[in-house]
């Protein structure tokens, strides 16, 4: 079987747009795979909300993120991209972060140039480190890969917010020179900016589509025509799940019918894996043997 990183390289080589719903735990990742999407991304925003019930403001530790990544990779066979934030420290921490994600079975690690503690890319108050520190982070990530970590590097810049699109593109271009496999310029504000990113930067690029965020929510065809390789949807599943849960809680509180809001119990068990477990465990049931 090819490694997760090798599978992701093959997907990127096909040059079709990879539509990537983002997960936040093992169950959401399983549902993404069951819906026949070819890969997923562990959204930092959604994972922070799900795991610790807190906003994506750098509150989760490396060990918590790594543990969540392991839980997810244990549950799925499609490639997972992990959100490594700023690398959780200096360049040596970045190396450890990337190596740890590779050992956990993730296909790629995202490393960004925000000041720690980082912030969600579509919320106020974010800032980026100097060029030199940003480049060191990607250099260290690539060093981990060169030292044997079987993983791709997704390099992200948030420089557009403070310093404009030109600075963001310059940083991303240097990230590519330093060994990044996928480039991610966060939060372009127009179709024209997205087009410029795709025209001026080499290699695979990722678009981050936050419904209600700063980046235009284009169709898959429009994103592919612009030149994006991956379209990430970091909050789509969590936002839909939270809306459904709130509606069901209100129905339960008011004692009104909620049957239309619930997944059938048989399908629920099937998607979680009960029937697969029963089938696999049947051969160990000695009480049924003669």
User: pLDDT digit string (tens) for 177-188?
Assistant: 999 999 999 999
Mean pLDDT value across the chain: 95
Query: pLDDT > 90: what percent of the chain?
Result: 90
d(CA 158, CA 171): 10
* pLDDT confidence bin for 287, thresholds 50/70/90: low
Query: Please, which residues bridge with residue 253 across strands?
Result: none
Query: pLDDT > 70: what percent of the chain?
Result: 96
d(CA 175, CA 221): 27
Residue 290 is predicted with a pLDDT of 47
- For the chain, first and last CA: distance in Å? 38
pLDDT at position 286 over 70: no
d(CA 194, CA 259): 43
Residue 91 is predicted with a pLDDT of 96
pLDDT at position 289 over 90: no
Question: Among positive and negative, which fits the CA dihedral 168, 133, 59, 151?
Answer: positive
Name, in order, each residue with C-beta under 8 angstroms of 132's C-beta and a sequence gap of 6 or more.
none
Residue 238 is predicted with a pLDDT of 97
Question: Among positive and negative, which fits the CA dihedral 80, 151, 214, 37?
Answer: negative
pTM over 0.75: yes
Is omega for the bond preceding 248 within 30 degrees of 0, making it cis?
Answer: no
Residue 206 is inside which H or E element, if any? strand 206-208
Place of tokens 């969540």: 68
pLDDT at position 121 over 60: no
The whole-number average pLDDT for the span 267-275 is 97
CATH code of domain 4-234: 3.20.20.60
Residue 110 is predicted with a pLDDT of 98
* Nearest one of 184, 169, 203 to 20, comparing CA atoms: 184
d(CA 25, CA 254): 30
Query: So where are the chain's domains?
Result: 4-234, 243-281
Residue 15 is predicted with a pLDDT of 81
Count of CB atoms situated within 10 Å of the CB of 196: 17
| pLDDT tens digits, one per residue of 192-247 | 999 999 999 999 999 999 999 999 999 999 999 999 999 999 999 999 999 999 99
User: Residue 264 burial (CB < 10 Å; 0-12/13-18/19+)?
Assistant: exposed
> Within a 13 Å sphere around the CA of 235, how many CA atoms are in the beta-carbon half?
18
How does DSSP assign 165-200, residue by residue? HHHHHHHHHHHHHTT-SEEEE----SHHHHHHHHHH
pLDDT at position 10 over 50: yes
| pLDDT tens digits, one per residue of 46-91 | 999 999 999 998 899 999 999 999 999 999 999 999 999 999 999 9
d(CA 155, CA 119): 16
């Amino acid at each position: 079987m090819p490694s997760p990183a090798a599978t992701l390289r093959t997907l990127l080589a096909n040059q079709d747009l990879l539509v990537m719903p983002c997960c936040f735990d093992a169950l959401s990742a399983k549902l993404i795979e069951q819906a026949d999407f070819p890969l997923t991304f562990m959204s930092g925003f959604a994972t922070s909300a799900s795991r610790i019930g807190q906003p994506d403001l750098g509150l989760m530790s490396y060990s918590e993120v790594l543990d969540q990544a392991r839980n997810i990779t244990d549950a799925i066979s499609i490639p997972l991209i992990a959100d490594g934030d700023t690398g959780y420290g200096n360049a040596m921490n970045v190396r450890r972060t990337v190596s740890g994600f590779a050992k956990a079975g993730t296909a790629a690690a995202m490393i960004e140039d925000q000041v720690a503690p980082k912030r969600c890319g579509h919320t106020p108050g974010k800032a980026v480190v100097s060029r030199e520190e940003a480049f060191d982070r990607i250099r260290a990530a690539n060093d981990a890969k060169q030292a044997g970590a079987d993983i791709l590097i997704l390099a992200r810049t948030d420089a557009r917010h403070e310093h404009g699109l030109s600075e963001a593109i310059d940083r991303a271009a240097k990230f590519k020179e330093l060994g990044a496999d996928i480039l991610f310029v966060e939060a372009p504000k127009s179709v024209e900016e997205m087009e410029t990113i795709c025209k001026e930067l080499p290699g695979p690029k990722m678009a981050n589509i936050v419904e209600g965020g700063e980046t235009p929510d284009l169709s898959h065809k429009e994103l592919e025509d612009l030149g994006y390789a991956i379209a990430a949807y970091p909050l789509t599943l969590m936002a839909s799940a939270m809306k459904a849960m709130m509606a069901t809680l209100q129905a339960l509180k008011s004692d009104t019918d909620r049957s239309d809001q619930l997944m059938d119990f048989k399908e629920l068990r099937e998607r979680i894996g009960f029937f697969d477990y029963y089938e696999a465990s049947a051969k160990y049931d000695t009480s049924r043997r003669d």
